[in-house]
């Protein structure tokens, strides 16, 4: 039986669904370099060339649960990680737990180049066979893990969009106008719009409570879309993100939003009046409720045919994930 393994619990949730990449975030200042040391008398030996990891051979005694099957776990991991040709994994155990119907899965993960240290992760499969608990998050599992969220967003993600009217390949961006990382994400979003003309790219406002002017900006955006259509909205959105620092105060927010409305070719007075109505507030709130129903808890979050994808990563990685998801769904990506 497995007694010991290294569990990187803090990354387990991201490793299962998202690529093993670091999202943009402020980093601590690195320590000052050490004082130079005297050169050794002999040069160190050259490092051994990296090699693929040698995972331990699975022990049949560690497969005590009747569900899920190893094939089901492998299929799920292939859906989640198959976009990355360099990633290797091995299902090491599927164990019964004291709770009827809940199984514990242990997986070893490595890199074909051997440059990344192999690690282990574990998650619990719930009795419905459609969800797992990884770290502190409940996530979809199964043969089509993203289908439910895809259906929800196809039905309810009604924000302004660019690209195709078809929802065969739908990317829904949950964003907050006052969120700095959302501003950073727009460069990638613009590239996606150019590279995936067959995709429907929806902007779904999700104003966070930590940003005092985000809700007013979302209300203005809703009215710009209502009065000027999606084209006017994306001109407005671009201008708001460009002037995002102006949202740091109430007076600055008013100037920034009115300026963005003007750049979108609309009348600021009409948009301001529209933004203050209960109907617009209800519309913005419905977007917040949709994010909650989709279990979106941070911005920016991009959901591609139901698959949550980190936006602020290398564009090449982002594009590869989207192309892979389109392939899984049997739809044209470009």
User: Tens place of pLDDT for every residue, the chain, 334 residues?
Assistant: 443 333 333 333 344 443 333 333 322 333 333 333 444 445 455 455 567 788 889 999 999 999 999 999 999 999 999 999 999 999 999 999 999 999 999 999 998 887 778 889 999 999 999 999 998 889 999 988 999 999 999 999 999 999 999 999 999 999 999 999 999 999 999 999 999 999 999 999 999 999 999 999 999 999 999 999 999 999 999 999 999 999 999 999 999 999 999 999 999 999 999 999 999 999 999 999 999 999 998 999 999 999 999 888 899 999 999 999 999 999 988 8
> What pLDDT, on the 0 to 100 scale, is given for residue 96?
97
pLDDT of res. 56 = 87
What is the C-alpha to C-alpha distance for residues 41 and 208, in angstroms, rounded to an integer? 59
* 238, 257, 323, 328 from 246: Cα distances, Å: 14, 9, 37, 42
- The CA distance from 236 to 260, in Å, is 5
Q: Tell me what pLDDT residue 37 has.
A: 41
Please state the pTM of the whole predicted model: 0.83
Residue ranges per structural domain of the chain: 9-20+51-140, 147-329
- List residues bridging with 123 in a β-sheet: 105
CATH dotted code for 147-329? 3.40.30.10
Question: Given 3-state DSSP classes, what are the helix, strand and coil percentages for the chain, each rounded to the nearest 5?
Answer: 40, 15, 40
């Amino acid at each position: 039986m497995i007694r010991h393994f290294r569990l990187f619990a803090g990354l387990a949730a991201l490793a299962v669904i998202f690529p093993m990449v670091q999202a943009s975030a402020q980093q601590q200042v690195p320590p000052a370099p050490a004082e130079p040391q005297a050169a050794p008398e002999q040069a160190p030996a050259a490092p051994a060339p990296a090699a693929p990891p040698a995972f331990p051979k699975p022990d049949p005694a560690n497969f005590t649960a009747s569900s899920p099957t190893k094939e089901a776990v492998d299929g799920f991991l292939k859906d989640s990680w198959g976009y990355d040709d360099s990633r290797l994994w091995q299902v090491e155990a599927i164990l019964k737990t004291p709770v009827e119907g809940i199984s514990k899965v242990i997986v070893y993960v490595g890199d074909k180049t051997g440059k990344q240290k192999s690690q282990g992760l574990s998650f619990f499969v719930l009795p419905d066979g459609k969800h797992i608990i990884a770290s502190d998050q409940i996530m979809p599992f199964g043969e089509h893990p993203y289908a439910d969220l895809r259906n929800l967003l196809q039905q309810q993600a009604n924000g302004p969009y660019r690209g195709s009217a078809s929802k065969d390949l739908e990317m829904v961006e949950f964003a907050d106008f006052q969120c700095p990382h959302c501003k950073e994400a727009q460069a990638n979003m613009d590239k996606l719009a150019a590279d995936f003309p067959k995709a429907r790219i929806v902007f779904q406002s999700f104003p966070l409570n930590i940003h005092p002017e985000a809700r007013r900006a979302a209300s203005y955006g809703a009215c710009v879309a209502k009065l000027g259509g999606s084209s006017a909205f994306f001109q407005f959105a671009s201008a708001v993100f460009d002037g995002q620092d102006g949202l740091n105060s109430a007076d600055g927010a008013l100037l920034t939003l009115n300026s963005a409305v003007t750049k979108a070719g609309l009348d600021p007075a009409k948009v301001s009046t529209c933004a203050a109505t209960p109907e617009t507030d209800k519309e913005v709130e419905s977007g917040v409720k949709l994010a909650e129903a989709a279990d979106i808890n941070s911005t920016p979050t991009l959901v591609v045919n139901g698959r949550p994808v980190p936006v602020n990563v290398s564009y090449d990685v982002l594009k590869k994930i989207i192309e892979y998801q389109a392939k899984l769904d049997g739809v044209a990506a470009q």
